[in-house]
Structure 1
Amino acid sequence: MSVDWRALHPGERVVVRRRRDDDPAPGEPRLTDVLGDVVRCDDDGLTVRTRGGDVDVPGADVVLAKRVPPPPPRRPR
């Protein structure tokens, strides 16, 4: 269920669909997803801590935000 991104709180695990901040080539998607934990959420936007590092998402770029369950435990190799 989608939520207003302004209602998210630090520590929550989310997926945020956002407009790309670069200029996608023809045929490339105009949107991208950011999955991770909210670090900051204010009137300007939010910061999501992903496995690859922190991603700042301006509020104007958010298309959809959704709380998601924690990741499954890693399986031993």
Structure 2
Amino acid sequence: MYMGGRLVHRITPEDVGRRVSVRISLPDGGFTDIVGVVESWADGVITVRRRDGSAVEVEESTVAASRVVPPVPPRRRGGRPPRTP
């Protein structure tokens, strides 16, 4: 997303179905990040489904940076192993 002093927008409509991280510009000049699976990309609107099940519609014109990220690893059974002192 950030390479050599500049933000890079790397996802395309062909990434529908893949997990991505998208940084969008906010009206106040700040940024926020959205991570999830691209459900659709049509008419300049990208729909991203977050892990909690909520869907976020992002105007393509507000995307400052984006990239495909690895899938969420499956949870281990039984939780974390106990720490040894």
TM range (shorter): 0.7 to 0.9
Matches within 5 A, 1:1-77: 2=8, 3=10, 5-20=11-26, 23=28, 30-52=30-52, 53-75=54-76, 76-77=78-79
TM-score (norm 1): 0.74
SS where residue 64 of structure 1 aligns? strand
CA distance in 1, matches of 2:22, 2:16: 14
The number of aligned residues is: 70
TM-score under structure 2 length normalisation? 0.68
Moved over 4 A (4+): none
Gaps of 5+ in 2: 2-7, 80-85
Q: Which has the higher strand share?
A: 1
RMSD, aligned CA? 2.1
More displaced stretch, 57-66 vs 7-16: 7-16
| Distance across 2 between alignment mates of 1:51 and 1:72 | 12
Larger of the two Rg values belongs to structure: 2
Higher RCO (CA < 8 A, seq sep 6+)? 1
Identity, in percent, stands at 37
Distance in 2, Cα, partners of 1:42 & 1:15: 18
Q: Which runs of 5+ in 1 are unaligned?
A: 25-29
